Structure 1
Amino acid sequence: MDPEVRTSRALARELLDPEFVEVGASGRRWTYEEMLAALPELSGSAPAGPRYRPSGMAGALLAPGIVLVTYETVIAGARARRSSLWRRAADATWRMYHHQATPVPAPSGDGA
């Protein structure tokens, strides 16, 4: 979520698994190469622009070398629930293998 990482292909490459796939809050499916190319232009990447504010981060070990991380984010008033699968690579580094974002609708205000 750090703009310095988001705008650096080299730094982002260290965090994303080569088999990475994301289903974004928009519903779009992103591959590793698509994400690396687009990341510098996506929301939260401009150092002076809005930044993601994470909360409620939790992790669960699903199997040796596989961790599920869940959390919520807010950026420019838009909320999303997020989940990421991280897997340990052969060199013992952790890389994001899969990411899913689901938008959280704004309260309707009608009490429903």
Structure 2
Amino acid sequence: MSEETDAIREAITGELRLMDPDVRASPSLSRQLLDPEFVEVGSSGRRWTYEEMVAEMPGMDGAADSGPRYEPSNFTGVLLAPGLVHLTYETTLNGGRARRSSLWRRQSADGAWRMYYHQATPVPPGRT
């Protein structure tokens, strides 16, 4: 596999782990996947920092084994530069759809891929 293919695969794997209820419910596991400089603009328009996201994620949708889960689809990715991947995809949760965009960067200290930036945009009902 090429460096680009490997990097995109690693980013998608990380993205899917962040949707796993066990990871969402565990601040220690989510810290392994979020960059310390992480920022998110959520589908509500709220801006989230690393510390806010780690603290709040256990109570968010998708964090309970018995509750609703994110259903991702249509992943695409591109290696923007060495150690920087941009992903786009869609999710469905409780019947609501969102288009998502994430930047993943590789930490030079440990070689791990972590989400650096994430944005979710709601898709109005009936839109394709």
Structure 1 and Structure 2 fold alike (TM over 0.5): yes
- The equivalent residue for 2:87 is 69
Structure 1: how far apart are the matches of 2:56 and 2:79?
A: 30
Which aligned pairs between 1:6-25 and structure 2 lie closer than 5 A?
6-25=24-43
| 1:36-62, Cα deviation, whole Å (9 max, x unpaired) | 000000111111000000000111000
Give 1:97's aligned amino acid: Y
| 1:53-97, Cα deviation, whole Å (9 max, x unpaired) | 000011100011100011000000000000000000021100000
Could you state the TM-score of these two structures normalised by the residue count of structure 2?
Answer: 0.83
Q: Does 1:98 align with 2:117?
A: yes
* Higher strand fraction (1 or 2): 1
Structure 1: how far apart are the matches of 2:47 and 2:64?
A: 22
Runs of 4+ aligned structure 1 residues displaced above 4 Å come to none
Could you state the TM-score of these two structures normalised by the residue count of structure 1?
Answer: 0.95
- Name structure 1 gaps, 5 residues minimum: none
Structure 1: how far apart are the matches of 2:47 and 2:70?
A: 20
- Name structure 2 gaps, 5 residues minimum: 1-18
- The equivalent residue for 1:107 is 126
- The equivalent residue for 2:97 is 79
CA RMSD of aligned residues (A): 0.8
Structure 2: how far apart are the matches of 1:50 and 1:6?
A: 13
* Higher helix fraction (1 or 2): 2
Structure 1: how far apart are the matches of 2:50 and 2:69?
A: 22
What secondary structure, in the 3-state scheme, does the structure 1 residue paired with 2:66 have? coil
Indicate the percent of aligned positions where both proteins have the same amino acid.
67
